[in-house]
Amino acid sequence: MNGLLIANKDRAAREQMADVFQQDNYRVETADSVLNSLEGILDKSIQVVVLGGVFDEQQIVKFVPLLKKCNRNLSIILVSDEMPLDLLRRIRKEGIFYHALRPVADESWDEIRQVVSCAFENYHTQQNVGRKLFGKKNPLQEATAGLSSLS
């Protein structure tokens, strides 16, 4: 099942976003911080992270690459108020999947729902490309098997 993490310090915003995705057949987790759900990112049970709230410019630019190091195929969707364009460019360069402005009305959630759906499709496509390149084993298993055959 597709794992979706909604991280936002605002509890009401987390619950509202979780309600939006409950009907989409995702395994939805909510947290006030991504750090509280890091295990799911590391073991790849979470494939998409929706970050919402107010962000410190320096922290978010450093935080996105750390998440990508935990799972390089992780899709990160940033939902925020308007941000300075130079900050948005730096965050995109670090690897976010999408930036959306915070929805103001119920019908505005459609954009974010579509983006999350697209992010899961993208994640599974990347996983399948990796399997085709390395067979059914993961790259570490391939490397280990190759080294073992040399001895």
Give the SS3 label for residue 103. Answer: coil
| CATH code, 77 | 3.40.50.2300
The pLDDT score that the predictor gives to residue 75 is 94
Q: Provide the domain count of the chain.
A: 1
The pLDDT score that the predictor gives to residue 6 is 93
pLDDT tens for the chain, 151 residues: list them.
799 999 988 899 889 889 888 888 899 999 988 887 888 899 889 999 999 877 776 788 888 898 999 988 999 999 988 888 888 898 889 889 999 988 887 667 889 999 999 999 999 888 777 666 655 555 556 556 655 656 5
The single-letter DSSP state of residue 72 is T
List beta partners, residue 50: 6, 77
The pLDDT score that the predictor gives to residue 58 is 73
Give the residue numbers spanning the domain of 129. 3-150
pTM for this structure? 0.80
The pLDDT score that the predictor gives to residue 37 is 82
Residue 78: φ, ψ to 5°: -100, 120
- Sign of the alpha-carbon torsion through 13, 60, 78, 20: negative
The pLDDT score that the predictor gives to residue 135 is 57
